[in-house]
Amino acid sequence: MYRWKFTPTSPILQNDFYKAFDDFCTCLWSAERLTHATYEKFAAVKNHLRAFRADLSFSFFNEAGLTEYVRYLREVREMRTARSGSSSAS
């Protein structure tokens, strides 16, 4: 079903993060698993990631890296998560 098999020695893990991101989206798009709106949301995420750090790698995304990215989205991009049922976004 999916063409990638992730193992510690897979070339994808040694590959460019953004190429893998594009390949993932293309794979889902070609398998008709994404709507156009969802594809656009993935493109927005990619733009945020590139603005955050142009040289991202898979190894960056540990707990500290994810925390740094979330902090960037909240403080620099001023993005907040709207919670369902809450009176204000936090």
The string of pLDDT tens digits covering residues 34-59 is: 788 888 888 899 999 999 998 899 88
pLDDT band at 32 (very low <50, low <70, confident <90, very high): confident
For the chain, what is the total number of helices (H) and then of strands (E)? 4, 0
Q: Please say whether the beta carbons of 17 and 57 come within 8 A.
A: yes
Mean pLDDT of the chain: 78
Kindly report the backbone phi and psi dihedral angles of residue 63, in degrees, each rounded to the nearest multiple of 5, phi listed first. -60, -45
Report how far residue 50's alpha carbon sits from residue 61's, in angstroms, rounded to the nearest whole number.
Answer: 14
Distances (CA, A) of 48 to 56, 67, 79, 86: 12, 15, 11, 26
Mean predicted confidence (pLDDT) in 69-83: 85
- What is the model's pLDDT at position 10? 52
pLDDT band at 2 (very low <50, low <70, confident <90, very high): very low
Q: Would the pLDDT of 85 be above 90?
A: no
